[in-house]
Amino acid sequence: MSGLGTMTKHFRFLKERKKKVHKPVFGALDILRYIGPGMLVTVGFIDPGNWAANIASGSEFGYTLLWIVTLSTIMLILLQHNVAHLGIATGLCLSEAATIHFSPKISRPILSFAVLASVATSLAEILGGAIALNMLFGMHIKVGAVLVTVFVIIMLFTHSYRKIEKWIIGFVSVIGLSFLYEMFLIDVDWGAAAVAWVKPSIPEGSVLLILSVLGAVVMPHNLFLHSEIIQSRQWNIQDDKVIRKQLKFEFADTLLSMIIGWAINSAIIILAAATFFTKDIRVSELQQAESLLRPLLGSNASVVFAVALLFSGVASSITSAMAGGSIFSGIFREPYDIKDSHSQTGVLISLLGGLTVIFFIGDPFKGLILSQVFLSIQLPFTIVSQIYLTSSRKVMGKYANSRFLNSILIIIAIVVIYLNLRLLFEFF
Predicted confidence band at 401 (pLDDT cuts at 50, 70, 90)?
very high
E strands within 126-198? none
pLDDT tens digit sequence for 58-85: 999 999 999 999 999 999 889 988 998 8
Torsion of CA 251, 256, 258, 262, to 10 degrees: 150
Phi/psi of residue 164, nearest 5 degrees: -120, 0
Mean pLDDT of the 120-145 span: 93
DSSP 283: -
Q: How far is CA 272 from CA 27, 72, 179, 283, 285, in A?
A: 44, 19, 10, 9, 13
Give the contacts of 171 (CB within 8 A, at least 6 positions apart).
307, 308, 311
The radius of gyration of the chain from alpha carbons, rounded to an integer in Å, stands at 21
Q: What is the pLDDT of residues 208-254, one digit of tens each?
A: 888 888 877 787 888 888 778 776 554 545 566 666 666 666 777 77
Angle at 112 (CA atoms; ends 213, 89), nearest 5 degrees? 80
What mean pLDDT do residues 83-97 have? 89
Q: Give the single-character DSSP code of 406.
A: H
Characterize 12-47 residue by residue with b for buried, 16 or more Cβ atoms within 10 angstroms of its Cβ, and e for exposed.
Answer: ebeeebeeeeeeeebeeeeeeebeebbbbbbbbbbb
Please report the pLDDT score of residue 236 as a whole number. 43
Rounded to the nearest 5°, which phi and psi values hold at 342? -70, -40
Distances (CA, A) of 6 to 11, 286, 306: 9, 44, 44
User: Are 231 and 133 in contact, with CB atoms under 8 Å apart?
Assistant: no
The string of DSSP codes covering 237-275 is TT-HHHHHHHHHHHHHHHHHHHHHHHHHHHHHHHHHHHH
Residue 203 pLDDT level (bands cut at 50, 70, 90)? very high
Q: What does pLDDT average to over the chain? A: 82
Q: Taking 90 as the threshold, does the pLDDT of residue 197 lie above it? A: yes
pTM, whole model, 2 decimals? 0.81
The predicted structure's pLDDT at residue 168: 65
Q: Which domains does the chain have, with CATH numbers?
A: 31-427 (1.20.1740.10)
Query: What does the CA dihedral 204, 207, 213, 218 come to, rounded to 10 degrees?
Result: 150
- The per-residue b/e assignment along 119-137, b for 16 or more CB within 10 angstroms, e otherwise, is bbbbbbbbbbbbbbbbbbe
Calculate the CA dihedral of residues 37, 108, 218, 55 and round it to 10 degrees: 110
What pLDDT does residue 17 have?
44
| Per-residue pLDDT tens over the stretch 266-280 | 988 998 998 889 888
| Per-residue pLDDT at 41 | 62
